[in-house]
Amino acid sequence: MAKSPRHVLRVTADAQNLPTRLEELTETNKRLKRKIFDLYTVFEISKHLSSVLDTPTLLDGIILTCIGQMGVNGAAVLIAKNHHNDDLILAKQKGLSIEPSDDKFIPEDSPIFELFRAAHFKPLSYSEILRQVGDIDEVHLLRQIECEYLIPMSLQNRVRGLLSVTRKISGATFYDDDLEFLAILANQLSVTVENARLFESEKEALEQLRTAQSQLVQAEKLAALGQLSARVAHEVNNPLGIIKNYLLLARQASVPSDSAGEYLQIVTEEVDRIAGIVRQLLDLFRPHEDIFAEIDVEAVIDETLLLLSHHAQACKVRIEQQLPSGLPLIWGSAEQLKQVFLNLLINSCDFMPDGGKILIDSEQNEQELIIRVTDWGPGIPPENLTQIWEPFFTTKTGGRGTGLGLSVCYGIIKSHRGEIAVTNVAGAGARFAITLPLRGDHVAG
């Protein structure tokens, strides 16, 4: 049966369109394979990221995945500063010249967030954002990070972060499948980052709880010991006073003799030493009578170094100051803080019998001043780091230490509503850090 001319024309047209159809099918097949691969990548990275609780590691993993999967020059992530603040800071980037910084951020009231809410949290191109919100500061930041597409990291209808990618290296456009992949990846990232932050918050809260418990135990031990020490000091002071008086009478009544005078002098010095220990015991626990006022810490340190200059020279210890000029005033007692610095510096000298170096430096913020005393001695054995504040604990041999000096320092700093901590520093020795509040309703004792 003969074919009609129309049928012949249709077959001819189909034959002519066959290469185009094959090309379309091939391209569709490639995109389907790519989509399957993308979904597999998301699945694999989700498995991996679910076990990662370190935020920087998470961000690195996501950015490297974006660059490798999308074939872009670079990528960046902006995330919320904390759990209660939706300002987004530039936290991580790869392949860009701009460096992450807290001062490179998108504020939580930015119209960009409203734009994402209106778009149901879909990825938006840089050109679309510029057209909708204009050339505002946030858009200027997007230019700095070479943003081609911006993908929201949404969680509970809040934008908790933004994933930015640059142009593709090939110059090709972003397909819908690409944007879908980036959206899935960004949502996965928002969940994992939030989980990591919650873990970090819990870890920090647990550490603060342990510190508070340790401080409470220390305070209870000091309180109990204080009651005992006050009684002992009272009972010891009375016979000490009597002994000292009779030593004076013995000196006056005795026949002059070099040896007798020497013996009496030794006994007098030992009695004075006992009296000094008793005074230290009382200083640990009794309310201080010094009147608190605004004081210049730098002047206090200068006076302390003047008192200690001969001792430091004898020990062949060089003391360096690296304090900035114009340190803020502190509310406290100059005499008590002088005692703290004196105890710390003498301790450092004692542990460097062959000479060495001590550095005094500082740092500050809006609420606190931190003074650090670092020596180049042997450091403190790790097992002793938590014991050195306990009364009568000492590692000095030959009866050179009573174990009360650091306990007195601890009590004084606590009375100033401050903190004192010790660590060992690599390449140096021990470092004592004293944190003092800059202002507040502080009272003595």
> Which residues pair with residue 85 across a beta bridge?
82
Per 3-state DSSP, what percentage of the chain is helix, strand, and coil (rounded to 5)? 55, 20, 25
Do residues 188 and 299 share a domain? no
Final residue of a structural domain among 197, 217, 248: 197
pLDDT, residue 153, reads 86
Do residues 169 and 42 share a domain? yes
> What is the distance of C-alpha 436 from the center of its chain?
17
Do residues 171 and 319 share a domain? no
pLDDT, residue 185, reads 81
Residue 120, domain member (yes or no): yes
Angle CA(309)–CA(311)–CA(312) in degrees, nearest 5?
65
User: CA–CA separation, 205 vs 202, rounded Å?
Assistant: 5
- What is the mean pLDDT of the segment spanning 278-297? 70
Do residues 312 and 439 share a domain? yes
φ, ψ (nearest 5 deg) of residue 151: -115, 125
Final residue of a structural domain among 197, 224, 240: 197
Q: Which of 4-8, 26-30, 278-282 shows the lowest mean pLDDT across its residues?
A: 4-8
Q: Is the pLDDT of residue 138 over 70?
A: yes
CA nearest to 164, candidates 74, 66, 76, 65 = 76
Q: Is the pLDDT of residue 238 over 90?
A: no
Helix (H, G, I), strand (E, B), or coil: what is residue 30?
helix
Residues 370-426: pLDDT tens digits?
Answer: 999 999 988 888 888 877 877 666 766 554 555 667 877 888 898 888 999 999 998
Evaluate whether 81 touches 197 at the Cβ level (below 8 Å). Answer: no
CA nearest to 419, candidates 264, 122, 211 = 211
Evaluate whether 403 touches 394 at the Cβ level (below 8 Å). Answer: yes
DSSP string, 128-168: HHHHHH-S-HHHHHHHHTT-SEEEEEEETTEEEEEEEE--B
Residue 161, domain member (yes or no): yes
Q: Is the pLDDT of residue 270 over 90?
A: no
CB atoms within 10 A of CB 110: 20
Do residues 35 and 173 share a domain? yes
pLDDT more than 70, % of the chain: 72
Do residues 292 and 404 share a domain? yes
Which range among 239-253, 264-278, 336-350 has the greatest average pLDDT?
A: 336-350
β strands within 323-439, DSSP E: 330-332, 356-364, 368-375, 419-424, 430-437
pLDDT band at 5 (very low <50, low <70, confident <90, very high): low
Residue 216, domain member (yes or no): no
List the 75-82 sheet strands across, edge first: 101-106, 85-94, 75-82, 158-165, 149-155, 124-125
Evaluate whether 185 touches 62 at the Cβ level (below 8 Å). Answer: yes
pLDDT, residue 8, reads 53
Residue 107, domain member (yes or no): yes
Which CATH number does the domain housing residue 328 bear?
3.30.565.10
Q: Which residues constitute the domain of residue 140?
A: 30-197
Residues 68-91: pLDDT tens digits?
Answer: 888 899 999 998 876 666 788 898
CA nearest to 113, candidates 164, 152, 141 = 152
Residue 229, domain member (yes or no): no
Total domain count, the chain: 2
Q: What is the DSSP letter of 440?
A: S
Final residue of a structural domain among 149, 175, 197: 197
Q: Which residues of 14-40 are buried (b: 16+ CB within 10 A; e: fewer)?
A: eeeeeeeeeeeeeeeeeeeeebeebee
Residue 224, domain member (yes or no): no
Residue 191, domain member (yes or no): yes
Which CATH number does the domain housing residue 186 bear?
3.30.450.40
Residue 3, domain member (yes or no): no
pLDDT, residue 438, reads 85
Q: Is the pLDDT of residue 150 over 90?
A: yes
User: Cα Rg for the chain, rounded, in angstroms?
Assistant: 36
User: CA–CA separation, 366 vs 382, rounded Å?
Assistant: 32
pLDDT, residue 61, reads 79
pLDDT, residue 91, reads 87
